[in-house]
Structure 1
Amino acid sequence: MSNAVSQDVAPARWTALTWLASAVVFAMAPWFSAAAVLPQLRAAWTLSDTDAAWLTLAVQLGFVLGAVLSAALNLADRIAPRQLILAGALLAAGANLGLLLAQGPLAAIALRAVTGAAMALVYPPALKAMSTWFRSGRGVALGVMVGALTLAAALPHLVNGLGGANWQAVIVVTSVLAALGGVMAWRVGNGPHQFPRAVFRPAQAWRLLTGRAMGLTTLGYLGHMWELYAMWAWFAVFFTRLLSDHDLPDPQRGAAYATFAVVGVGALGCYVGGVLGDRWGRTRLTALAMCLSGACALALAFLADAAPPVVLALSLLWGFWIIADSAQFSTIVSEIADPAYVGTALTTQLALGFTLTAGSIALVPVLVGRGGWPLAFAVLGVGPLLGALAMRGLARLPEAARIAGGRG
């Protein structure tokens, strides 16, 4: 590409990033809506702890089901991303609005599963679409997108800290935002670095994982996902208990603010991870981030009963590094996968990752019941350390020359 053409594309790609990142955050607003109003739903429907947990798990499992079907049908490589995002956003908006008519947990859980399945038509295609706008700086671009979503995931905790909100109003607003996000995404076409159009190959998702380089990338991603959503899902519960044990006033509100900060700081981590991934190499950055994240989890295993300021400081460090590598796994896939099936590869990787998160989320309360929070943190810390080993293995393969402009 000539310098003149590069200069013409440069402003356009940042405009595309701004639009698409905003569109995806809006489109995925229903994912975070139930977390924002969970205390109100528990009161309105007299939810048990099991029901409340399933409202969270249903979205994860719905996403997995939607991603598996999408990958098997190669949807992200056969249909324009903006079409999939619009369809997924509208489906999510409709399922989210259905909560207004639900009379109890069973219907709500089913609707949350449909919402999760719809998100599988939004998130992977958006990552693929943004990859067509960036060849250099792709790690930063995808880091910005994941960082925006991280901030969106943190906002419900801020809402709860401020006293919650009328749950029906939250559902309506997030549904409208989802539809708006789909329309915004429709405005963003593919960039100049387009991938070849795929043909229908149902077995391609499995073939993509059998290669050694893609397999190691996926193992690294699974190590990252093992701790991420479990930490996000249970940190508020842990910190509420800590504040209560130290006889501090209004522990639930204090824990809500702390959780907003711990999850929200990850948005900055995503950007820094993107910058370092582009400059240092993605295998190096992901291994470093997982080593630091795993070390934080293991440190908390020893300091779970320490003074709240000490625990919060360590948790903020954990929240920064636990997500800093996330977008880089998707970026690696976009660089080493069969170009015609990048969307399928991204969707397959995400499906496996979110399947694992459902298990780790469910495992945490079991571990806490048997050995307290120190045992839970210790087990969570093992995943990223194993993931770091996988990424060091990837760095030694010939495919590493195709990652981050040859930086690996």
Structure 2
Amino acid sequence: MPIKRHILPSIIFAQFAGTSLWFAGNAIIEPLILKTGLGTEIMSYVLSSVQFGFIIGTLVFSLLMLADRFSPSRVFMLSAVLAAICNFSLLTDTISQWHLLFARFGTGFFLAGIYPVGMKIASDYYKEGLGKALGYLVGALVFGTSFPYLMDSFIPPGDYHIIIKTTSLLAVFGGILIDFWVPNGPFCKPISKLKFKEAKGLLKIKSFKKAAIGYFGHMWELYAFWAFTPLAIKTYNQINKQAFQVSLTTGIIIALGGIACIGGGFISQRFGSYKVAFYSLVVSGLFCIVSPLLFELPVYLFIFGWAIWGMAVVADSPQFSNQVTMAVPIHLKATALTITNCIGFTVSILSIQLLSYLTTIFSVNYIYVFLAIGPVVGVLSFIQKAKKGN
């Protein structure tokens, strides 16, 4: 049956709206921390709390197989509303350290019902051309990630309430849109009860393991790159006596990654997901290695280089998700995506905490070299896969 034209645009917008909550707190982290009366020493914990919430959320969602047992659109909607409530709670007059951490944790927890579930909904509609569809979906995530930074660059200094209100309302609207406009897709095969043995059996599927390892390498680099791009721009400004607007520049760099995801989706239609993911890892890994040199370049070459890195660092994400869904039984797609997201975001916390620690012992312009660990692991996984021919 032909797919109605409004389906994919609805999923894309809802994914963008829901995931705008992800970095809403990160974009305004300094005024939020000042509101607690504490110093910047808790910044890395606030940055990681949403990731940790997402990890616990994906663990719960995957163990209970929620999006495989119930309507994924309804799961998406409820998750979006609950994530928006957690985000909106940041608007209280006084906020403690624990309130801030738990609000971001709760937002991350319910994002587990938005990001991987949104990809599950897309895979229920698109059996052929899923790589392109997921390119749009991950692109929407990237645009959602950049949105709070872009907003912050245009609002009056300190008036972060606008960002919290806008992202919360967007998430609620996106959830309602999915629930009303996107019914279960033609390839949705819900299961009636928990099937732990089948979920455990995913680890025996070689193609799933290879795709997952590549994804984990990609995740080591991605969120640490996003989280520490503002620091890179500040550092470049200090070293070279420039005055680039940090929020606007960060937002543009992250948003360009969304364009790369969409472009990679189209390229995958001709050359395959494997090649798009592999060469994206190679390019981003090279940027990790040469990153100290970027700080020595003239200003526009620095921004250009960081922007190309920002495109390469995320262009492989939808293609890894495509490989994961294609490797597993149709009724376990949501569980497989959620499990890989759970482990991948655990990896991202480790890299964020590592870079935070490295800022205390190295000059900032050298810390990004350590992000190369992820692409190296991912590329080696691809090479091993090619040698074994599976």
User: In the alignment, what sits opposite 1:245?
Assistant: 239
> Residues 280 and 397 of structure 1: is their aligned pair in 2 closer, same or farther, counting only changes over 3 Å?
farther
Three-state SS of the structure 1 residue aligned to 2:187 is coil
Cα distance in structure 2, aligned partners of 1:164 and 1:56: 21
User: In the alignment, what sits opposite 2:96?
Assistant: 104
Amino acid paired to 2:12: A
Equivalence map 1:59-70=2 (5 Å): 59-70=50-61
The match for 2:47 among 37, 56, 78 is 56
Give the drift of 1:157: 2.1
Cα distance in structure 1, aligned partners of 2:165 and 2:87: 8
Q: Determine if contact 2:217/2:378 at 8 Å carries over to the other structure.
A: yes
Equivalence map 1:82-161=2 (5 Å): 82-101=73-92, 103-161=95-153
Give the drift of 1:155: 2.2
Is 1:352 paired with 2:343?
yes
Is 1:42 paired with 2:33?
yes
Give the drift of 1:395: 4.5
User: In the alignment, what sits opposite 1:404?
Assistant: none
User: In the alignment, what sits opposite 2:203?
Assistant: 209
RMSD, aligned α-carbons: 2.0
Unaligned runs of 5+ in 1: 400-408
Give the drift of 1:341: 0.8
% identical equivalent positions: 28
Q: Determine if contact 1:270/1:326 at 8 Å carries over to the other structure.
A: yes
> Residues 164 and 15 of structure 1: is their aligned pair in 2 closer, same or farther, counting only changes over 3 Å?
farther
Cα distance in structure 2, aligned partners of 1:369 and 1:51: 14
> Residues 387 and 245 of structure 1: is their aligned pair in 2 closer, same or farther, counting only changes over 3 Å?
same
Runs of 4+ in structure 1 deviating by more than 6 angstroms, as ranges, are none
Three-state SS of the structure 2 residue aligned to 1:265 is helix
Three-state SS of the structure 1 residue aligned to 2:11 is helix
User: In the alignment, what sits opposite 1:167?
Assistant: 160
Three-state SS of the structure 1 residue aligned to 2:6 is helix
User: In the alignment, what sits opposite 1:290?
Assistant: 281
> Residues 180 and 196 of structure 1: is their aligned pair in 2 closer, same or farther, counting only changes over 3 Å?
closer
Give the drift of 1:92: 0.8
Amino acid paired to 2:222: L
Amino acid paired to 2:240: H
> Residues 31 and 377 of structure 1: is their aligned pair in 2 closer, same or farther, counting only changes over 3 Å?
closer
How many corresponding residue pairs? Answer: 387
Three-state SS of the structure 2 residue aligned to 1:357 is helix
TM-score, normalised relative to structure 2: 0.93
Cα distance in structure 2, aligned partners of 1:198 and 1:397: 37
User: In the alignment, what sits opposite 1:377?
Assistant: 368
User: In the alignment, what sits opposite 1:405?
Assistant: none
Cα distance in structure 1, aligned partners of 2:298 and 2:250: 16
Cα distance in structure 1, aligned partners of 2:159 and 2:366: 37
Cα distance in structure 2, aligned partners of 1:176 and 1:206: 38
Give the drift of 1:383: 1.2
User: In the alignment, what sits opposite 2:66?
Assistant: 75
> Residues 169 and 127 of structure 1: is their aligned pair in 2 closer, same or farther, counting only changes over 3 Å?
same
Cα distance in structure 1, aligned partners of 2:171 and 2:191: 28
Q: Deviations over 1:109-140 (max 9, x none)?
A: 11211111111111111101111211222111
Give the drift of 1:396: 5.5
Q: Determine if contact 1:36/1:164 at 8 Å carries over to the other structure.
A: no
Three-state SS of the structure 1 residue aligned to 2:335 is helix
Cα distance in structure 1, aligned partners of 2:96 and 2:214: 39
Amino acid paired to 2:116: P
Q: Deviations over 1:31-83 (max 9, x none)?
A: 23212322332333333223232222111000000100111111121111011
Unaligned runs of 5+ in 2: none
Amino acid paired to 2:172: A
Q: Determine if contact 1:225/1:357 at 8 Å carries over to the other structure.
A: yes
Give the drift of 1:278: 2.3
User: In the alignment, what sits opposite 2:358?
Assistant: 367
Amino acid paired to 1:312: I
Q: Determine if contact 1:293/1:384 at 8 Å carries over to the other structure.
A: yes
TM-score, normalised relative to structure 1: 0.89
Give the drift of 1:384: 0.8
Amino acid paired to 1:259: T
Q: Determine if contact 1:287/1:389 at 8 Å carries over to the other structure.
A: no
Q: Determine if contact 1:24/1:123 at 8 Å carries over to the other structure.
A: yes
> Residues 198 and 272 of structure 1: is their aligned pair in 2 closer, same or farther, counting only changes over 3 Å?
farther
Give the drift of 1:203: 4.8
Cα distance in structure 1, aligned partners of 2:211 and 2:184: 25
Cα distance in structure 2, aligned partners of 1:146 and 1:339: 20
The match for 2:171 among 171, 178, 201 is 178
